[in-house]
Structure 1
Amino acid sequence: MITVFILLRRNCGLSKCISAYMVAMATSDLLVIVNSIIIYNILSYHFPFSFLSHTPVCKLIVYMTAMSLDLTVWFTVSFTFDRFVVICCQRFKAKYCTKRTATMVLIVISVLILSKNILVLFAYEPEQIINNTQWGCRSSVNILTSSPAFAWFHSAWIAWLPFLLIFLFNSLTIHRIVVANRTRIGLRGHRSENHNNSAMESRRKSIILLFSISVSFILLWLTHSTSLVITRLSNPNYYRGDLNNPEYIITETGNILKLLSCFLNPCIYAVTQNKFREELNNVVKSLLKQIVRLVEKHKEKTNAF
């Protein structure tokens, strides 16, 4: 929430285009934390037979969970493509890398994902019926076994296609930066090697940022994507909470790692910016001052009585 707030203030020295993508990614990560972790894995699990356990509500929670995960993945892909255009497509850069284009891209991606995940609502059925009331929701075995292509499509959409696109865009971008650096070094070879070059330093930071994006996303999502295909296609009934089942252990490990990526994204995309850290310090100091003032006012009222 603080990341979104700081980015919306636009005091981090970022362009409007980059800010739009970073706000979208931070917001989608927040949705994942709220839906997948707080509501689905904590409240729904530890408070059975509550309002959240009604089948329609449970289906909505599953839908929101799948939707938010898709958003965070494809917002990352769109941001990576935007950085690719900035560095590798100079002629296309002026038309594409604008706030208007970024907003339209984010809207189109959101609409497509909202429409695509409607299928999730039909992939679950009531877990049990008590007094004509539907409770819980579980995967519909009929849908999974009769449509193995659904698991392949879901795995490709959520991980394998993003893997390919992110790897492709970042590889081309890094190659372009390396070639540009070699050309620049060749042109200024007669100068001192210790000469400070701000342009080369900026390119070096770009390579580090892009490498962090690729490695963190691929490593944290690879286990989930692999286990998704193996378990859903070979054994649709694997997910029964058996702690001795290797498939269950791998699946849960993959889920933990993919959720962890949502915590790391703000660090990769925002915290690495010097001005963002300055804004973060200012916001934290401001909040602490407000808390101290409230405490002092409370003490004054208490002493008055």
Structure 2
Amino acid sequence: MELATIEQAAFIYYHFLAIFGVPANFLSIVLLSRGGCGLSKGITLYLVGMTTADLLVIIFNVIIYYILGYYLPFPALRYTSVMRINEVINYMVVDCSVWFTVAFTVDRFVLICCQELREKYCRENTAAVVLVTVCVVSCFKNIPLYFAFEPDSIINNVEWGVHFKPTYFTLPGWVTYDWLDTLFNPLLPYFLIIFLNALTVKHILMANRTRRALQDQRNSKSSDDPEMQSRRKSIILLFSISGTFIVLWMPYVVFFLISRITGSLYNPAQNSDPLFIADYTGDMFQLLSSCTNTCVYALTQTKFREKLRNAIMYPFSAIIRYVK
């Protein structure tokens, strides 16, 4: 099958995404789970949850859906029942990945901005409850999607492929569900992260101004303040993760809003249509966000970077010891 230029680029891109994303996320899960990265148990649990969800996104949305499902000859993956299940899982793991990022942002917001709540909220037990709740809600929220699809064709009484039923776009129940799904992801989490980060920045600027004024009175340097040092580390990690999420999801959200507000549609057969290219590009950037957290951890966390370097060098060190 001849592919358009953007499809050829995506074909190559998704393979590199899978080659890098799977081992990077898996290694991050192992290193974070073992501890010793200088992070609290609560934040470590959030990071493990986010990385696990990102790994599942790479496996189901990239490897199975795009690579195996569309480019390689695996007929079993084209059965309607299988594709329906895969569609539900795709939506579910993306929802988990996105809302885990929201949960992490809320946790950091409470830690930095809400002194009265931080002791009660920023704990390992709270993180576990939040992550489990997100998983359960995402699972039940996407189950109706299984019934929103119908087969593309029926050959010898075997159903192949899937597409949305025409009634999905006309029946009030399905239309309501679609808008609630749209609000749930990507609109609400995307703008919620931006809003919380804006409040966090405002709080930090005001707190730092007040703290510097107090320290000037004591003839003390802010660089020696342990409170500001601790806050700075939390801010760097928060803004690195949520900032990367905002940037990489921006093309997808912009295309989504334009297409929904204007009602613009494109014909998949017209490969040069700007909307077709924008749709593919948005998906590519969105899926890239499932591979960036390992890089963020390595760049912002010294102890994680040391553990990552030791893990990468361990096979080579073992070979050298064996040779000697």
Same fold by TM-score greater than 0.5: yes
Q: CA deviation at 1:270?
A: 5.6
Instruction: Name the amino acid aligned to 2:111.
Output: V
- Give the aligned partner of residue 185 of structure 1: 212
Structure 1 distance, partners of 2:182, 2:319, is 46
- Give the aligned partner of residue 203 of structure 2: 176
Q: How does 1:31-180 map to 2 (within 5 A)?
A: 31-48=56-73, 50-146=75-171, 147-180=174-207
- Give the aligned partner of residue 306 of structure 2: 278
Provide the secondary structure at the position in 2 that maps to 1:13.
Answer: coil
CA spacing shift, 1:99–1:202, aligned 2, 3 Å: closer
Deviations 1:230-285 (A, max 9, x none): 44676696362531222211111111111011111232356421000011111112
C-alpha contact 2:105 2:242 (8 A) present in aligned 1: no
Say if 2:249 is the partner of 1:249. Answer: no
Range 85-94 or range 186-195, more displaced: 186-195
Provide the secondary structure at the position in 2 that maps to 1:240.
Answer: coil
Provide the secondary structure at the position in 2 that maps to 1:129.
Answer: strand
Say if 2:252 is the partner of 1:224. Answer: yes
Deviations 1:14-42 (A, max 9, x none): 11101110000000000001011111000
Structure 2 distance, partners of 1:117, 1:243, is 30
C-alpha contact 1:66 1:117 (8 A) present in aligned 2: yes
Structure 2 distance, partners of 1:129, 1:231, is 31
CA spacing shift, 1:201–1:95, aligned 2, 3 Å: closer
Range 270-279 or range 200-209, more displaced: 200-209
Structure 1 distance, partners of 2:152, 2:314, is 48
CA spacing shift, 1:193–1:251, aligned 2, 3 Å: same
Structure 1 distance, partners of 2:319, 2:251, is 42
Say if 2:241 is the partner of 1:213. Answer: yes
Q: CA deviation at 1:229?
A: 4.7
Structure 2 distance, partners of 1:123, 1:250, is 25
C-alpha contact 2:105 2:193 (8 A) present in aligned 1: yes
CA spacing shift, 1:260–1:125, aligned 2, 3 Å: same
Range 205-214 or range 30-39, more displaced: 205-214
Q: Give me the TM-score of the superposition, normalised by structure 2.
A: 0.82
Q: Which runs of 5+ in 2 are unaligned?
A: 1-25
Say if 2:316 is the partner of 1:288. Answer: yes
Structure 2 distance, partners of 1:72, 1:270, is 19
Q: Give me the TM-score of the superposition, normalised by structure 1.
A: 0.87
- Give the aligned partner of residue 21 of structure 2: none
- Give the aligned partner of residue 299 of structure 1: none
C-alpha contact 1:21 1:102 (8 A) present in aligned 2: yes
How many residues align? The count is 296
Q: Which runs of 5+ in 1 are unaligned?
A: 297-305
- Give the aligned partner of residue 19 of structure 2: none
CA spacing shift, 1:292–1:234, aligned 2, 3 Å: farther
CA spacing shift, 1:139–1:85, aligned 2, 3 Å: same
Q: CA deviation at 1:43?
A: 0.4
Structure 2 distance, partners of 1:78, 1:201, is 23
Structure 1 distance, partners of 2:223, 2:307, is 31
CA RMSD of aligned residues (A): 2.5
Provide the secondary structure at the position in 1 that maps to 2:290.
Answer: helix
Provide the secondary structure at the position in 2 that maps to 1:117.
Answer: helix
